[in-house]
Structure 1
Amino acid sequence: MRFSQVDVFSAEPLLGNPVAVVHDAAGLSDEQMAAFARWTNLSETTFLLPPTDPAADYRLRIWTPGGELPFAGHPTLGSAHAWLEAGGVPAGDDVVQECGAGLVTIRRGDRLSFAAPPLTRSGPVDEADLEAIAAALRVGRDDLVDAAWIDNGPGWVGVLLADAATVLALEPDWAAFGDLKIGVVGPYADGPLAVELRAFCPGYGMPEDPVTGSLNAGVGQWLAGTRLPRSYVAGQGTVLQRAGRVHVSLVGTPGTGEVWVGGDTRTTVAGSVDL
């Protein structure tokens, strides 16, 4: 089977988030997919399949070392890149991906970008969860400037802290997370980046994800056009010695408009895999 490993959200080599992509994976069982995802030990491994929806160009299954996801952002961009590079031709101007979250549109341009899918859970976070989040992050309850559920499949709860420096200084208590998947955001006062993000998800088999499209999509739906500009660049992965750059833009009304999430993609490994 053809195999690609694509670095996503960085124009520089080896500074983004890699996704392993297996092409023509229709013959693989769930057990084989799960085993390969554990073996790659990347935050996500994907499998390209023929679509079942006539509106889609291909179907994608997305696995972490800990199980399958209905949607994830950097695997969406990296898999679209691999599919196009392998000769895939979309039916229309955009690429349409079928996945567990439904149909996702991927726009081609200076860089690939996806339309953020609808949130499966949104709204305020109750006090008990806020106390648990503060404990997991090892911060005071009053340090949480704002919080909201911004779940588009992986389970994200978004937390706004005072600034980027506070985000970068976090040393979470992994044993306190339970089922929580926490995305933390802190603004920069000036410079090319609007915010710094960190994505904590120990339940998926990796304590911190380097650069996270799904989280950035949820943050854009939550904060773009209000606490953040309508279009901005987010940084992620700094603590992990990465330099992720995520381009987020809002079209329409804050809170209800369409959010697009884009980033650079490049193949770093290409070959075949025997499963």
Structure 2
Amino acid sequence: MKPTPRSRPFHQVDVFAGQAYRGNPLAVVLDAQGLDTATMQHFANWTNLSETTFLLPPEDPRADYRVRIFTGSEEFPFAGHPTLGSAHAWLQAGGVSQSDDHVVQECAAGLVRIKRDGGRLAFAAPPLTRFGPVDAAVRRQLAAALRLPVSAILDASWLVNGPEWIGVLLESAAQVLALEPDPAAMGDLKVGVIGPHGPGASAYFEVRTFLPGDAVAEDPVTGSFNAGAAQWLIGSGRAPEEYVASQGTVLGRSGRIHVSAEGGDIWVGGDSTTCIRGTVLL
């Protein structure tokens, strides 16, 4: 017999944008104690957002809280905008971290440090669990999926840190913005595409990320992909140790991802705004 639903604090947070309603929304259930996996997954499907998170007491004594992250169809061990949005909601709801310097989030991928950078939060990119060039067959599939000649792909690499991203580097931001992917050719690939802007632009890179399905879904702003891309591009000397990436432009968003390499860590930050605050019956 399922327990009777009760009122739980709930926030909807816009992440990776300085202006509300221009980033990537996240639903956050701030007290998920007693909810089973099926209920969480059903609610995440109902919200119809890219991700919904559920906050719980930590199991690891080093963590300040534990989070479970769901898309509409599956649970992720880690994701970027849910990490920042959950930390923002937890702090706004009165959460107090054990450390003055960091919030420590526990998720299925392990512990993730989140630092305050003025009014902005940033997470330390988790290590890549799969990293390296894609093979020739996958490269051909990527070219077909992006409707590009194979020669237009400067580089392509696995960037798996929870979601199984493949990063594709193009010559310019203009090429990235012009993409019209082919869903049939995309298959089950999760693809993030990145290209540099020219001198004087407000962002160093333009990013777009595509998810498989009957029609290709484009994510407005993607922390996990940007974390992997930063490790790849900074590590290979293609990006400076500090830069801003823009994402969501084609969707009418103005996402901004702030990346910096400090002392062996890659920090991925963005602004968050709570747009809805209330309760939900679960």
Structure 1 Cα separation of the partners of residues 185 and 38 of structure 2: 30
The correspondence of residues 53-92 of structure 1 with structure 2, limited to 5 A, is 53-92=60-99
Q: Give the equivalent residue in structure 1 for 2:5.
A: none
Q: Give the equivalent residue in structure 2 for 1:17.
A: 24
**Alignment equivalent of 1:132, drawn from 138, 141, 144:** 141
CA contact (8 A) 2:24 2:81 kept: yes
What letter matches 1:119 in structure 2? L
Structure 1 Cα separation of the partners of residues 177 and 85 of structure 2: 26
Give the share of equivalent positions with the same residue, in percent: 62
What letter matches 1:234 in structure 2? A
- Secondary structure in 1 matching 2:281: coil
| CA RMSD between the two structures | 1.3
Instruction: Provide closer, same or farther for how the CA distance between residues 203 and 152 of structure 1 changes in structure 2, counting only shifts above 3 A.
Output: farther
Deviations 1:126-184 (A, max 9, x none): 00110111111111111101111111111111000110010000000112222210000
CA contact (8 A) 1:66 1:205 kept: no
Runs (4+) of structure 1 exceeding 3 A deviation are 203-206
Structure 1 alignment gaps of length 5 or more? none
Total equivalences in the alignment: 271
Structure 2 Cα separation of the partners of residues 134 and 36 of structure 1: 36
**Alignment equivalent of 1:245, drawn from 245, 256, 262:** 256
The correspondence of residues 10-49 of structure 1 with structure 2, limited to 5 A, is 10-49=17-56
Q: TM-score, normalised by structure 1?
A: 0.96
**Alignment equivalent of 1:165, drawn from 161, 174, 189:** 174
Q: Is 1:97 paired with 2:127? A: no
Structure 1 Cα separation of the partners of residues 214 and 33 of structure 2: 24
Structure 2 alignment gaps of length 5 or more? 1-7
**Alignment equivalent of 1:146, drawn from 149, 152, 155:** 155
Structure 2 Cα separation of the partners of residues 85 and 116 of structure 1: 23
- Secondary structure in 2 matching 1:87: coil
Q: Give the equivalent residue in structure 2 for 1:223.
A: 233
CA contact (8 A) 2:182 2:216 kept: no
